[in-house]
Structure 1
Amino acid sequence: MFFILLIVFVLAPIAEIYVLLAAGSAFGVLPVVGACLATALIGGWIIRVQGMAALENARRDLNAGKPPVAAALDGALLVVAAPFLMTPGFLTDAVGFALLLPPVRRLIARLALREIKRRIDRGDATITIHRP
């Protein structure tokens, strides 16, 4: 876990700064700043559109009497994508835009569900259902 935190909070920002400086020296400061702003705006708009679609899918599942697990995971991954897109930098934008691709979200959701099931089967996690 320490190494994951080290990568997230130390190495990723260093790599992001390096890429921004390299892009700035290759293309100039204004185009790089403009690209960062444009990706944040475009990403925010796409998240809004796909977020509404995820809510509609959840509503459709609930109306059909099915638990909206897939729609909930889809929406959660969109929530994760938002900060990546709003953070200035090209590496974080790449992660954020990857999370906007439905096949990538389906893959991550499938892996997450498999891990949750594994932990439940091992007894490391429990599910409690609260009824009103």
Structure 2
Amino acid sequence: MKSMKKLSCLLAVILVMAMAFTACGSSDKLAGKKFVLDSMKMAGMTISASDLELNGSIEHGALYLEFKKDGKAIISVDGEANEGTYTLSGKNLTLIGDGEEMKGIVDGNTITISEGEGDEAVSIVFKKD
């Protein structure tokens, strides 16, 4: 009976440790990956990255997210790269850069970051490079 209690306790400890390591490693799913602007949606219109490049709004490759080890990220806007941090919990991504927090959803090879509500809502879609 005592050996069964010990075995149960040991299994419980192993399970807790496995969950802790899985939670710590969740950000590493993105480590080493770069996502580039695919499209933007605002005021009910979707504009592709290539259309934004054609009309001179952005330069090719000027808007991207690059994920490093240990929860660090590079957030490039208009060709200016800024360092930040990120966390990933399931599909929920939180990016923090320059004192700003952005929330997004990771779905396979895309990341969608959304801000605002209603007519003022803006969604930016990045695809894996």
In proportion to residue count, which structure has more helix?
Answer: 1
In proportion to residue count, which structure has more strand?
Answer: 2
TM surpasses 0.5:
no
Shorter-chain TM-score category?
0.3 to 0.5
* TM-score, normalised relative to structure 1: 0.32
* TM-score, normalised relative to structure 2: 0.33
Larger Rg: 2
